[in-house]
Chains A and B, each alone.
Chain A
């Protein structure tokens, strides 16, 4: 009985390189990993390098110590309040998008005539994009627009309702672009939940509310968390609609406007980078909280998972 170490036929590198290659291969490293290289180069060059460049730029303000720009941001109420404005817009809008999608998706997850048509119609608003939505909102909700005309004709209001150039215009624009997206994701998660689980609960005598509360909702919760995160990212980076249908100097001065103005109106790149970093941090903090909550949820293999 001879035990032979499995040595590969050594390549051009000689027996030693072959041994090393073999040991690396046992740990999962071999030439196939080179396929990953272009993508990693891309992420490093185009995302990580600019990101860290911006990070170190934000600590080199045009005047003052390393933290001067952060200090400037947080001590100026006009700038500091943009964080609250952004969260005040994006959190309720993302929450509404997710919560409104659940009953609708719950209704729609079975098969019925025209399902494909309904889903197609639901995708259309995604393609409108923020700029067209803004233009439409200005036309439709404006003082002489159709919406106010209908309300006045029905004698619901006497004066045209102001829904543009304020908080509500931006809020509606986020809902219009974000809702279909949230709906599709939740429909997809809901469809992944095995319907036989609910049927089993039904045979045991659970009513529809009990089935939803005890079976579907716990299975769906991780998917809800993921959907909320993705919708929140969309809502948090609201930029064109905050300028076009909002009140960019006042009630809808979101943090991306502050960053943009610092970079392209004051040409103060360190300050703009500092604001961009604050923006990223706030957003990641919210997402981290949601994902942290998600880890406490069921993580089985039965659909609904993120």
Chain B
């Protein structure tokens, strides 16, 4: 499947998402790659609250909204119900934002991964609580402005490494995906669908409102994140087999940071510090790929 073949077949217009929202592109891509034989489990967060209003739904898949912390548990419940009825061909897809994955949802997510329940968990990471109005989460990067990390007190901790946390569960499949690389994205979703056990798909989701950039720049930001090594595209099988899928150009970090208003309050030396962190993380990833171990 090519990027231009992506349609709104399973996610129509009529949702309340902001112009330039990456999450809708993430989910449209995931839905289309999976097809109609899918049950979606949705938690609170951007998608849960603005994905439509009764009695109409823009989602053309059987879908179930659950509470903020419970994507991991609800995904397991739907899978078990389908299995006991003998339906092994329907895919279950649990959908959560960074809050529902990194923070309030991590307990149920970790438990489902540990049980290796057979479904796909996709996280759209827009790096803060965007639906409630841009509050920091543990996915917010160091130095970013949010409404709870104001200019005088910018986020002073690094982003939680959710991929390594999920890899440490030794689940069959962990992959990072980007809307700027749709063919890679679609291939990974299809691979997850064919893999038995727990699959974690981690999608980068630039947010024009929360990151303070023009809404037509969403895909560009997603591409810059990959090329600047902020969001490497890779996959990990069974907790140990690492594969890098896109070789980044390694553009300087300021090319990625500069278009975003949330990084406007960085002080002298901060960009260098961020660049050093990126380079260190990249080296770590390269070591894992070369040594093929955690």
Q: Do A and B bind each other?
A: no
